[in-house]
Amino acid sequence: MKESSRRGFMGKALGAVAGLGAIGSLVAMKKTWDPLPSVKAAGFTTLDMSVFTVGEMVTEQWRGKPIFVMKKSAEMVAKQTEEQSARDIVVNGTSYMVAIGLCTHLGCIPAYKQKEEYFLCACHGATFDSAGLVTKLPAPRGLDIPPFKIDGNNLILGEVGPEWQALKDNGITL
Ligand code: FES
């Protein structure tokens, strides 16, 4: 190999190594910028909806907020008004009530009265029915429904799926 072509070859080889190094640095930098997997996961809560008991109001957590969840039987669904049914979240053919457990007046946590089947906010007396609709002022609207996506038996809170988008578009939740 002539001296000039050897230099050309060495130049290209060094350039290739430098290029690989630059890509490696960029990958390393991107890893630094990306949120940690735990931080990403922190925005979402996955609920396996098959484990809930019919008629039992359960409080889950999502982003530090209480989330009320209740599985409904076919009989319960049949008794509902149209307005109540419009708030149902249907996962694998079963209806659920899912709502953020914060009063829409000033954010207190309403208590569920299991026997009477309604929520009472002790702060200023607002009430909500078991579907989350407001039944007594001063709460300005029903309990909000957290963004969700349905994935098989799971409800992924924090992701926006078409079912939640439809609720929002129809003014059922903020
Ligand atoms: S915060 Fe619930 S009624 Fe005021």
**Full-prediction pTM beyond 0.85?**
no
pLDDT band at 18; cut points 50, 70, 90: low
- CA 104 to centroid of ligand 1, rounded, Å: 7
Q: Residue 43's pLDDT is what? A: 85
pLDDT digits (tens, 9 = 90+) for 44-98: 999 999 999 999 999 999 999 999 999 999 999 999 999 999 999 999 999 999 9
d(CA 84, CA 110): 18
Q: Closest residue (by CA) to atom 3 of ligand 1? A: 124
Structure tokens at 153: 């038996």
Convert 63-93 to b/e letters by CB count within 10 Å (16 or more is b).
eebebbbbbbeeebeeebeeebeebbbebee
Domain 41-169 matching CATH 2.102.10.10: the answer reads: yes
Pick 152 or 14 by higher pLDDT: 152
- pLDDT (tens digit, 9 = 90+) per residue, 25-53? 544 554 444 544 444 456 899 999 999 99
Which of 100, 112, 119, 124 most suits a substitution to test ligand 1, by most atoms within 8 Å of the C-beta? 124
CA of 136 to the centre of ligand 1 (A): 10
- For 21, residues 6+ apart whose C-beta sits below 8 A from its C-beta are none
The first and second tokens of residue 91, run together, are 């996962």
Mean pLDDT, residues 122-138 taken together:
97
DSSP string, 94-105: EEEEEEE-S-TT
